[in-house]
Amino acid sequence: MQSVFVTGAAGFIGAHVAQALAKHGLRVSGCDLLSASSMLALQDGRLTALIRASGVDVTPLDACDTDALTLALLERQADVVVHLAALPGVRASAERPLTYANANLMGFASVLEACRRAGVRRLLYASSSSVYGQRGGQFAESDRTGPPTSFYAATKMANEAMAAAYKAQMGLTSTGLRFFTVYGPWGRPDMAPYLFAQAIRQGRPIKLYGHGQPRRDFTFIADAVDAVVRLVQQPLQQPLPDVLNIGHSQPVRLLEFVRLLEEALGREAQVEMHRLPPDDVAYTCADDRLLHRVLGGPMQHTPLRQGLARLVDWLDQWDPIPACQPASTC
């Protein structure tokens, strides 16, 4: 039975991936460094609802501790590592660049070295659509990346360069997964789907940057997980591309996104229009043809209307809103 180790196993994508891998009969373990911030309740919830219920063993471990991580990989005889531990978020990276450098650069260097030492046969790691910078059309893996519009994007570009260097110099192969705006139950509270849904539910205004005109290639969490699980299950002797887009090639304008969210919530949004910040991008669109070829067919696709309905259903259970009118007094 294949052994898979997931870093960031209490994170949004990490918890869903670990649960899905376990359900597919793989031997799954992982690590996470739990936060003492407002994220802690979500992390604990993911561990309870997704991880422990699936029998996945998660060790409190900092991925920056190379010796401890190497030992964990050796003890679990890990064949595959799915590295999802990192600091996400564009705007927060401007406020804490050194923290991002430690987590996303030193942490990734530690993971590369631990995988090399432990003889891991496949490394999949989280990159981001942010590496493409400002552009139009479909974003293909063969496109030139950058220039970065945020420090977060720069760390992900650096991760891809570091992975390429380890492959060229030390023979460690890996695949960077360029995720496109993943959303869904147990999602990140700093991202628009969660932020907007909570604000609308609680009668607070939402800020639409770029006057609602930017378009995003939204990817429901179950779809992204489907792609990751199928990549893990590819024969270990079969080489994978250095990078892969994880998205649907179906960008949606933010104004339409808000309309669908209002529909799912049964409430009207209070919208404040703002200019697009310089660290944001106006458009994302994954060219998914290479992923289709690798997987032998398209990854699972959940329409945005259906995905938002499932996000709202989860929020109603996770954070019930008192029944009162109008919404602004709830």
CA distance 204 to 327: 9
- The CA distances from residue 27 to 30, 56, 83, 147, 303, in Å, are 10, 8, 16, 40, 31
Q: Which H helix or E strand runs over 278?
A: none
Query: Is 152 an annotated catalytic residue?
Result: yes
Whether omega before 214 lies within 30 degrees of 0, making that bond cis, reads no
Maximal C-alpha separation, the chain: 64
Go through the chain and tell me how many residues it has: 330
Residue 329 exposed, middle or buried by CB count within 10 Å (0-12, 13-18, 19+): exposed
- The CA distances from residue 234 to 67, 77, 273, 294, in Å, are 28, 18, 45, 9
CA distance 120 to 172: 8
Q: Which residues, including other chains, have CB under 8 Å from residue 41's CB and lie 6 or more apart? A: none
Beta strands in the chain (DSSP E): 3-7, 27-32, 57-60, 80-83, 122-128, 174-179, 182-183, 205-209, 215-216, 219-220, 243-246, 252-253, 270-274
- What are the two backbone dihedrals, phi and then psi, of residue 19, each rounded to the nearest 5 degrees? -60, -45
The angle formed by the CA atoms of residues 305, 226 and 158, to the nearest 5 degrees, is 100
CA distance 149 to 280: 7
Catalytic option among 100, 152, 183, 194: 152
CA distance 236 to 80: 9
- The CA distances from residue 22 to 3, 16, 63, 78, in Å, are 10, 10, 22, 14
Catalytic sites, residue numbers: 152
